[in-house]
């Protein structure tokens, strides 16, 4: 049994209370009603033309409705409106709602009632649960139940994601469901289904985007068919519903868009195309648990830049439409991955969708476990409680935009915030005599940093940050020419802010760190800079993030 010190208990309580506080703040900042769309793209950004081209950031949760029952998960646990009303208080403004192609191309399936669908699976307890919590949908055809979920989402933006053809859990290399020409993936039937779904939701104002297909994969994968059919699918969706953004997946389980460097996808329309990419820690096997975390973070971020993030530099939108971690917080690899990727999400200020809202499944095919819990779900098995408030708090740091069209002003010019992914907080100053501490990024000072000058200074002042020794708090001062006022990004991950201090007559390197007992910033010996594998670097991971308002 794990033992918890008083200090650890205090830290956990701190994060729970801080998450609740920030949830209230986030709710106030995100309660704008979804109105008439459409959205467009402006370079790499998604923007709202009705708001003068102001940036809209998608901070989404995935909600599965492509399973064997073909009903959005959780409706036997809680009323539909109760579930959808929990989304914004957690800071999310968007749902990526999945659906199987057969929902619109198989009339006999689409016309099944919810009750009949559960009956055929022998899920009688779920029928009773839906009767208790959502009696109005029990006798609806499956397609109408799907529409009811979209309607209930109301002020939350919706991405309709074609996840698969046959209702099932996703996925395998050999499930005959992964690429054009597979047994269950006829491209012409797929285009017909996309057209039907796009037509059905034309004029439904909270449906802002359609994702054409989840995670193309398998032995049939090839570029010729990808370019042909993705273009045809995009044109079909745009023709049927020109309001929605069209989101397109790459190859290799939606991890590879590198081929677009040399050959862009040609479409007849502009301002509606968004690319998507997926990433999980398990894609690297046990690497996150057994390798040096700085090297692993550098490796995965380098791959992301080569395979997808380069599109942002080219002015083309990319959304991280699936990522997630074990929300129990007990998986070392997932925890390291999340801290690394939150740094990237903040630095690049990407749109994203977390897997998943789902607390449990009606039935999970593969093992056919009834009522199986989902450890990646932000909600618990009861679909009421948050599974892990501290992880959700960390993720809340990237829910609102740091920058983008229409966000800057004379009072809020672009500057830097010093983001700490492990806590989801930013470095704040109080005075020249008080130590720096972590706090909400919305309260961040306007930092300036020029790599060629290597000074961390406060905008509009003569104050710069100075290190004073191991275990000591750095402070602001006016003497900015000494070695201890020089800061460089070091380590393979480029997430360590390092300076040099005098120790017994010798110059030694120290890195920004956090005293987790009180969230005060200190400097300590830099961690994990070598190939050492059994070390934890995350307390020293910081990202200098461009912002026009302090982030969240």
- Please indicate, yes or no, whether residues 156 and 254 belong to a single structural domain of this protein: yes
Residue 163 confidence (pLDDT): 98
18 pLDDT higher than 70: no
Q: Is the dihedral of CA 538, 18, 33, 72 positive or negative?
A: positive
Arithmetic mean of pLDDT over the chain: 92
| pLDDT band, residue 456 (cuts 50/70/90) | very high
Residue 531 confidence (pLDDT): 75
- Please indicate, yes or no, whether residues 469 and 380 belong to a single structural domain of this protein: no
- Please indicate, yes or no, whether residues 305 and 156 belong to a single structural domain of this protein: yes
Residue 170 confidence (pLDDT): 86
- Please indicate, yes or no, whether residues 26 and 168 belong to a single structural domain of this protein: yes
Residue 370 confidence (pLDDT): 95
Q: How far apart are CA 451 and CA 299, in angstroms?
A: 22
| pLDDT band, residue 17 (cuts 50/70/90) | very low
14 pLDDT higher than 70: no
- Please indicate, yes or no, whether residues 283 and 381 belong to a single structural domain of this protein: yes
- Please indicate, yes or no, whether residues 391 and 420 belong to a single structural domain of this protein: no
How do residues 169-195 score in pLDDT, each as one tens digit?
Answer: 888 888 999 999 999 999 999 999 999
How do residues 533-549 score in pLDDT, each as one tens digit?
Answer: 778 999 999 999 999 97
Give 535-539's long-range contacts (Cβ < 8 A, gap of 24+). 535/292, 535/293, 536/293, 537/293, 537/294, 537/491, 537/493, 537/495, 537/496, 538/293, 538/335, 538/336, 538/339, 538/421, 538/422, 539/422, 539/513, 539/514
- Please indicate, yes or no, whether residues 334 and 198 belong to a single structural domain of this protein: yes
Could you tell me which residue, 255 or 37, shows the higher pLDDT? 255
What backbone torsions phi and psi does residue 41 show, to the nearest 5 degrees?
-110, 145
Q: How far apart are CA 8 and CA 23, in angstroms?
A: 22
- The beta strand positions in 340-492, using DSSP E, are 351-354, 363-364, 369-370, 415-420, 425-428, 437-439, 447-450, 455-458, 464-466, 475-477, 488-490
Residue 544 confidence (pLDDT): 97
Residue 227 confidence (pLDDT): 99
Domain span at residue 453? Answer: 415-547
Residue 549 confidence (pLDDT): 76
Domain contains 391 = yes
Q: What length does the chain have?
A: 552
What's the rounded mean pLDDT across residues 67-95? 98
Residue where a domain stops, chosen among 365, 396, 427: 396
How do residues 321-334 score in pLDDT, each as one tens digit?
Answer: 999 999 999 999 99
- Please indicate, yes or no, whether residues 143 and 223 belong to a single structural domain of this protein: yes
How do residues 373-432 score in pLDDT, each as one tens digit?
Answer: 999 999 999 999 999 999 999 999 999 999 999 998 766 789 999 999 999 999 999 888
């Amino acid at each position: 049994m794990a033992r918890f010190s008083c200090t650890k208990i205090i830290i956990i309580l701190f994060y729970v209370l801080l998450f609740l506080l920030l949830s209230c703040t986030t709710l106030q900042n995100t309660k704008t009603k979804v109105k008439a769309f459409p959205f467009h793209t402006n370079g790499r950004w998604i923007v709202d033309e009705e708001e003068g081209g102001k940036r809209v950031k998608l901070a989404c949760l995935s909600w599965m409705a492509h399973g064997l029952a073909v009903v959005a998960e959780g409706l036997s646990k809680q009323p539909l409106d109760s579930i959808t009303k929990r989304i914004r208080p957690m800071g999310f403004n968007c749902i990526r709602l999945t659906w199987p192609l057969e929902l619109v191309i198989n009339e006999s399936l689409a016309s099944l009632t919810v009750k009949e669908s559960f009956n055929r699976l022998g899920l009688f307890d779920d029928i009773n649960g839906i009767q208790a919590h959502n009696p109005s949908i029990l006798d609806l055809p499956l397609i109408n139940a799907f529409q009811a979920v979209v309607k209930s989402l109301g002020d939350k933006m919706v991405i309709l994601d074609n996840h698969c053809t046959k209702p099932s859990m996703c996925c395998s290399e050999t499930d005959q469901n992964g690429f054009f020409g597979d047994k269950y993936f006829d491209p012409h039937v797929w285009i017909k289904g996309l057209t039907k779904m796009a037509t059905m939701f034309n004029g439904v104002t909270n449906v802002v985007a359609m994702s054409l297909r989840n995670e193309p994969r398998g032995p049939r994968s090839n570029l010729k068919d990808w370019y042909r059919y993705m273009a045809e699918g995009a044109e079909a969706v745009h023709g049927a519903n020109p309001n929605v953004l069209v989101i397109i997946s790459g190859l290799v389980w939606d991890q590879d868009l590198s081929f677009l460097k040399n050959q862009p996808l040609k479409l007849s329309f502009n301002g509606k195309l968004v690319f998507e990419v997926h990433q999980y820690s398990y894609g690297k096997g046990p690497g996150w648990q057994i390798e040096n975390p700085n090297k692993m973070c550098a490796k995965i971020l380098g791959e992301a830049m080569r395979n997808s993030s380069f599109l942002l530099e080219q002015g083309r939108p990319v959304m991280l439409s699936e990522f997630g971690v074990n929300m129990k917080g007990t998986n070392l690899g997932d925890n390291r991955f999340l801290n690394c990727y939150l740094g990237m999400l903040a630095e690049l200020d990407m749109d994203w969708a977390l897997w998943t809202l789902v607390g449990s499944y009606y039935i999970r095919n593969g093992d056919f476990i009834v009522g199986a819990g989902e450890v990646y779900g932000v909600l618990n098995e009861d679909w009421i409680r948050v599974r892990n408030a501290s992880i959700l708090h960390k993720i809340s740091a990237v829910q609102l935009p740091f920058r983008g069209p229409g966000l800057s002003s004379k009072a809020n010019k672009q500057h830097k915030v010093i983001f700490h992914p492990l806590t989801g907080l930013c470095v704040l100053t109080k005075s020249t005599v008080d130590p720096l501490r972590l706090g909400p990024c919305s309260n961040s000072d306007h930092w300036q940093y020029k790599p060629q000058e290597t000074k961390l200074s406060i905008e509009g002042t003569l104050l710069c940050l100075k290190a004073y020794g191991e275990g000591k708090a750095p402070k602001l001062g006016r003497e900015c020419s000494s070695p201890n006022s020089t800061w460089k990004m070091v380590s393979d991950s480029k997430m360590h802010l390092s300076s040099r201090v005098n120790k017994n007559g010798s110059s030694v390197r120290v890195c920004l760190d956090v005293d987790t007992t009180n969230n005060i910033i200190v400097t300590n010996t830099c961690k994990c800079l070598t190939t050492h594998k059994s070390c934890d670097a995350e307390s020293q991971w910081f990202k200098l993030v461009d912002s026009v308002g302090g982030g969240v």
